[in-house]
A and B are shown apart, each in its own frame.
Chain A
Amino acid sequence: MKRKLLLYSFLIVFFLLLQTTLLRYARIHGVAPNLLISLTILTALVRNSAEGAAVGLFSGLCIDLQFGTAVGFYALLGMYTGIAAGSISRKIYRDNFLVVAFFTFIYSVVYESVVYVINNIMSGDIDFLFAFTRVILPEAVYNCAVSVLLFPLLVMAGKWFDSAASAHKY
């Protein structure tokens, strides 16, 4: 439990810092990957929905506190993304990074679509096709690439957690 707390907090804070500062210089056609949501989805897929939901909740909360106008929106969305991504985690072959990358893509598309629709539904000024082709799709591809890099890290983290758990048990 301590190990999980330590590693996840470190990753969330580190990714938040990267996302808000250096990633601004790594944009391709104005689009940057979303590290925190990639982490949430990947945690949920490789580990389970409980860990995914917790990571989603706290990384969302960090975004809310730094930039949100209403604190809790991204936290809520992050938590549900974690639960949703985790719910299929047992049904897929999660040792294969291609499978994981594919589902990261799918969930990124869903997550960003929800963010776009909720934020624009009140203004009545929705141009979903443009948003989808120019922002959502490229970002999902970018997240997909990030997930391939994150995948071995989370698999190793999982082994590290489990070794602590089994040592505790016996």
Chain B
Amino acid sequence: MLRLFKSKWFIVSLATIVLLIVIGVSAGKSSRLTWLRNILNVPLKPVQSIFTSAGRKMEDLFAYFQDIDALREENEALRAEVEELRRQNREYAELKEKNDELRQALNLKSEFADYTITGANIIAVEPGNWFSVFKVDVGEQDGIRADFPVVTGSRGLVGRVLYADKSTSNIQTIIDEESAVSGWIAKPGGGHAIVKGDLQLKEEGLCKLIYIPIEVDVEVGDIIETSGVGGIYPKGIEIGKVIEVRKTNSELDRYAIIQPTADFRRLEEVFILKSEKK
């Protein structure tokens, strides 16, 4: 009997069975194993924060020397753009005033009125080269729950909270292959479509727009917003812009490539929309 317990194969089978049970228990949305995750995640959080910010500083230092020429050119271009934007801004201010008046008249609420916004820093990314999940430095104790929407400072959609631990949470980005967001093609005669992550496009920080309704004429430059269908994301968050429409064999089977508003390669800080209702 004792020999059986000491045998290698017995230990391996036992470990396999235990792990299979743990997989079963922890899979899905249940948070029964959150305490287990916290054992590792809570002590690692400060160290990961330091490591990531050190890496960022090093990258910034290298980039500093490479960037000087590029910056000079960019400066020129930006100056021209500032002029153009100033002009547009004046027009915009007029339009906004008009819009506010109309809005009040219709008694509409602002889209994000039901949400409070929490800033978060990225402290770690998932190992391996398959997925695009990252960890941020706020968690359950800051009121973060699974499925809260995540946006950038310029209100481009980043993704959603996959799950929240005590002091950290994992964010699934919209370019992750397992992510699918209901989108709205924002133009007259627009329609619903699905924004999906794709392994081939992920590397370049892009994603796919699939199930485009046959009657909608998608063009390069169209803006895609969240549709509000599905209950995770509020309506009207900008997801990105169509940069290419690809036709496969049939008209029904076409899809578009989307450049997300959020730049996933340069993401450092994100904002989580906390819903008060939940």
Asked if B109 CB lies within 8 Å of chain A CBs, one says no
A34-B51 in contact (CB<8A): no
8 Å CB contact of A50 from B8, B40, B58: B8
Identify which of A1-9, A19-27, A89-97, A149-157 touches chain B.
A19-27
Q: Which residues of B contact A116 (CB under 8 A)?
A: 130
Find A70's partner among B8, B27, B48, B129 (CB 8 Å cutoff).
B27
Q: Is the CB of B27 within 8 A of A69?
A: yes
Number of A-B contacts (CB under 8 A): 119
Q: A115 contacts which of B12, B124, B130 (Cβ < 8 Å)?
A: B130
Taking the nearest CB of chain B, how far is it from the CB of A127, in angstroms? 7
> A66 interface residue, CB < 8 Å from B?
yes
Query: Within A47-102, which residues are at the interface with B (CB < 8 Å)?
Result: 50, 53, 57, 62-63, 65-73, 75-76, 79, 83
Residues of B60-100 whose CB lies within 8 A of A: none
Query: A interface, how many residues as a size bin?
Result: 35 or more
Whether the Cβ atoms of A22 and B127 lie closer than 8 Å is no
Q: Does A131 contact B (CB under 8 A)?
A: yes
Q: Is the CB of A70 within 8 A of B124?
A: no
Counting CB contacts under 8 A, is A31 at the interface? yes
Query: Is B36 positioned at the interface, with any CB of A under 8 Å from its CB?
Result: yes
- Assess A76 versus B12: contact at CB under 8 Å? Given A31-B129, A65-B41, A66-B124: no
Known contacts A66-B135, A67-B135, A73-B23: does B123 contact A139 (CB below 8 Å)? no
Q: Are B39 and A24 touching (Cβ within 8 A)?
A: no
A24 touches B55 (CB 8 A): yes
Tell me, in angstroms, the Cα distance from A135 to B128 when the chains sit together. 10
Most buried by B among A21, A50, A71, A79: A21
12 residue pairs bridging A and B, Cβ less than 8 Å apart: A20-B48, A20-B124, A23-B127, A24-B52, A25-B58, A25-B59, A31-B129, A66-B41, A66-B44, A67-B126, A72-B23, A127-B199
10 closest Cβ contacts across the A-B interface? Answer: A21-B51, A20-B124, A72-B23, A70-B27, A71-B26, A72-B22, A72-B19, A30-B203, A19-B127, A65-B40
